[in-house]
Amino acid sequence: MKGRTSTTATIRAVDLFCGVGGLTHGLFRGGVEVVAGYDLDPTCKYAFEANNKARFIEKDVGELTASEIVDRLGDDAVTLVAGCAPCQPFSTYSRTGRAESSSADWGLVASFGRLVQDIQPDLVTMENVPALQNHPVFTEFIQALEGYAVAYRVVQCATIGVPQTRKRLVLVASKLGTVAPSLDWRDEGKVTVQQAIASLPVLRAGEGSQDDPLHLACRLSDINLRRIRASRPGGTWRDWPTDLRAPCHRKVTGDTFPAVYGRMEWEEPAPTMTTQCFGYGNGRFGHPEQDRAITLREAAILQTFPDDYRFVNKGERVKFSQLGKLIGNAVPVRLGEKIAQTFRAHVDEVLCQPI
């Protein structure tokens, strides 16, 4: 940034791997101006642009050049490059049957580091799964931040106001001073499932709200309807009569998955939202009271998207698998807001002087 003389410096950012805008929306709410989001998936464009004053650019981050980003950031603000490279190679939900060393997706973290080295923004943040910090690609990313003051930690999102037990690795870095932005966040207390979604209209399995296309519940087969009726909040399939148990539950390996076909608890945060969070049989995604899985809108709210965040254009058909992937992969909005507030406090302390 050139000519830093104002008492409140603008922070201007681009969001790499932006998805439907969870991180971008949080950054906006925390006082950061995001000018563009980059993602290879064109299905993200509507939600990103409909809810954020930023342009969606469909492009592989691995093919991005520094000059494209520098031109958007300009030179009249504190600059921030933010992003969350796809985390599937490190996710405990996606390791079955694949060797970690063979995943080409690791290269996206390296591309992120390359862009930071070439752009040299004032600030950098990356959010990802905790397992990333144990991999050499993370060490290489830290090395790409030479000249930056760096801090990182694993954050339990339930402690910062996200109604979900989601652990994320958060990294922040700054060239503005010798001390990194502080990630010593105070525990804000848990937000429960009941506080988050209890006010939404009651639905049966297969029903949807006339007022909100995303408040739509998947259908349940007859046996799954019987299973959810036999389930209690916080319980497991072990609570069912034997005749309702699936063949995998009768094997020793079935003991490894007690939360499959589970109901959430009203007085606790939700489990981690995944790309399959709309399906009753995919985890503890049963509604605490109603005999159905959570809806896409409920999943989005548990990801701390505003309850009016638009994911589909008017009249567009809702596709569970597509939107479940976009919502489950999103950065919780509240986490993005906390990161923005951290940078805002850091920049104000380092750059802004009283009049």
The one-letter amino acid at 96 = T
3-state secondary structure of 36: strand
Residue 163 near residue 110 (C-beta atoms within 8 A): no
Measured in residues, the chain has a length of 355
Sheet containing strand 167-174, strands side by side: 55-58, 33-39, 11-16, 78-83, 123-128, 167-174, 149-156
Residue 46 near residue 317 (C-beta atoms within 8 A): no
Alpha carbons 350 and 82: distance in angstroms, whole number: 20
Residues forming a β-bridge with 58? 39
Q: Which of these, 308, 329, 334, lies nearest to 200 by C-alpha position?
A: 308
Alpha carbons 25 and 169: distance in angstroms, whole number: 19
Q: One of 18, 44, 84, 87 is an active-site residue; which one?
A: 87
Alpha carbons 149 and 350: distance in angstroms, whole number: 13
Alpha carbons 346 and 149: distance in angstroms, whole number: 12
Would you call 157 a catalytic residue per the annotation?
no
DSSP tag of 54: S
Q: Which of these, 122, 126, 101, 103, lies nearest to 113 by C-alpha position?
A: 126
The string over 125-145, giving b where at least 16 C-beta atoms fall within 10 Å of a residue's C-beta and e elsewhere, is bbbbbbbbbebebbeebeebb
Q: Which residues are catalytic?
A: 87
